[in-house]
Structure 1
Amino acid sequence: MRIVGHSLLLFSVQLGLGISVVSGSKGEVDSRIPIGFLQEVSISLKVSHQSELKNPPVAVRFVPQNGAARMSKRKAIFMSMLLPGLGERSIGSYRSANLFYGSESSLWLSLFIFQKRKEWKREDYQTYAAARAGVNNEGKNDQFYSDVSNFSDVDEFNAAIRRSREPESVYSGADEQWSWSTEEERLKFKSLKLESDNAGQNIKRIIGVMLVNRIFSVMNTVYRYNKLDSPATLSLNIGNFPELSLTAKF
């Protein structure tokens, strides 16, 4: 770009937004380079033969492409909802992204562990109930096993249900029978079932934390995106040389 005589204007731009060059007498030339987010700008300006300066001052400015920026912001938010840290990484916040990656990985690992623990303990208490109380495990729901854990046999349960005037809830089928030989066996079964239930509750808690983690990631992505999107203006005036005005987003 020739400004004056042997003038040289050199830009080194990494991940810039767009460049417009305006020269007063020649109207406006708008050249935009949509290459992401500005991270570094270095400028070297040499002007010789000052007497050759004839044109009005030259202003160089970066122009944000608002439509593209809005699209990128929505995309970053969606990525954070999909996987915490992914939105931060898409806007260059790598350290923040790694923190969210670590927390999300820990949550998924915990979810896997508690899911397996729930399944193993369920198999344990079902096997124990079949061996010690004669329970038929086929087609039984969690409420049935809760009743088995709280009553010594089906007759005791049905008597309690009739006293509460809920005859429709009694167990009358041949496959709905059970009878514990001792109170210790029933309590051991109840303990096994409680361990499985606790694992299930922990799974729900982890899922809740994962949702919160996504909310925090979205908020962090929006904050860091807006921080990137806030312009900082640098103006240079060097003697009688043309004014160099730079507006950058970082």
Structure 2
Amino acid sequence: MVKILLLTVMLSGVRAQAPSKAFLLSLVLPAAGHRYLGEQRASAWSLRAEVGLWAAYLGLRTWASWREEDAWAYAAAVAGARGDRDDRELWDAMGFYDNVHEYNLEVTWREGSSARTYPERPPTWDWPGEEERLRFKSLKDSSLRARHRARMVLWCIVGYHLTSALRALKVAGGSEVSAISEPYGLRMVVVRRFR
């Protein structure tokens, strides 16, 4: 858990705007904060990093969508799959059970009459063999991994923006940024010093 504690003491109205503006610009777009502070080289590198991170995020999201489309097309063509694509339980069941009858028996045995089952006539899915089911599961898992990695890149973008904003605040005017370890996380403290 990251707690952010901003303790900013403003010396005068004019001087206080520069650090806060640098902080906000860097929070929105890190390259803008660097450029505002006159750090042209850092601004160029920051812009490259920002573009790279967003390209990675969009690329992973696109790849995940393609793999999901491939998995559903494969399931429809090979297993005669039908049903709601947004139903994650169905999505998982198709990867673990050879057919809908096998799934319905298992879930009814486990959960009783309140179990959620799928129609058997016509079958919601019926894999011809284990190899085909495992191929579908591989496509499905590939899509889920790509979505997870896209979320991780998104968190990296958020962290990058926050780090850049704290750095800009430090560079803009006599502030110190400290990380203090705590039992359940890390606390970031930004302190503005009197001069």
Same fold, TM exceeding 0.5?
Answer: yes
State whether structure 2 residue 26 is matched by structure 1 residue 80: yes
Matched residue, 1:183? 130
Verify: 1:125 aligned to 2:71, yes or no. yes
Higher RCO (CA-CA < 8 Å; seq separation 6+): 2
Contact 2:34/2:43 (8 A) holds in 1 = yes
Q: Of the two, which has the highest radius of gyration? A: 1
Matched residue SS, 2:128: coil
Q: Which residue pairs with 1:42 in the alignment?
A: none
* SS of corresponding position for 2:165: helix
Partner of 1:216: 163
Higher strand content, 1 or 2: 1
Matched, 1:157 2:110: no
Q: Which has the higher helix share?
A: 2
Q: Structure 1: which 4+ aligned runs deviate by more than 3 Å? A: 137-140, 172-176
Distance in 2 separating the partners of 1:89 and 1:175: 63
* Paired position in structure 1 for 2:153: 206
Deviates more, 1:181-190 or 1:159-168: 159-168
Instruction: State the Cα distance separating 1:84 from its structure 2 match.
Output: 1.6
Q: 2:140 aligns with which of 185, 193, 212?
A: 193
Paired position in structure 2 for 1:66 = 12
**Match of residue 92 from structure 1:** 38
Q: Which runs of 5+ in 2 are unaligned?
A: 1-10, 176-195
* Whole-Å separation in 2 of the counterparts to 1:70 and 1:109: 35
Shift in alpha-carbon separation, 1:175–1:143, aligned structure 2, 3 A: farther
Q: What's the C-alpha RMSD, in Å, of the aligned pairs? A: 2.1
**Structure 1 residue 137 displacement after superposition:** 4.7
Deviates most, 167-176 or 102-111: 167-176
Query: 1:124 Cα deviation (Å)?
Result: 0.4
What displacement does 1:138 show?
A: 4.5
Query: Gapped runs of 5+ residues in structure 1?
Result: 1-64, 229-250
Query: In the alignment, is the contact (CA less than 8 A) between 1:136 and 1:175 conserved in 2?
Result: no
| Letter of the 1:126 counterpart | W
Matched residues, number: 164
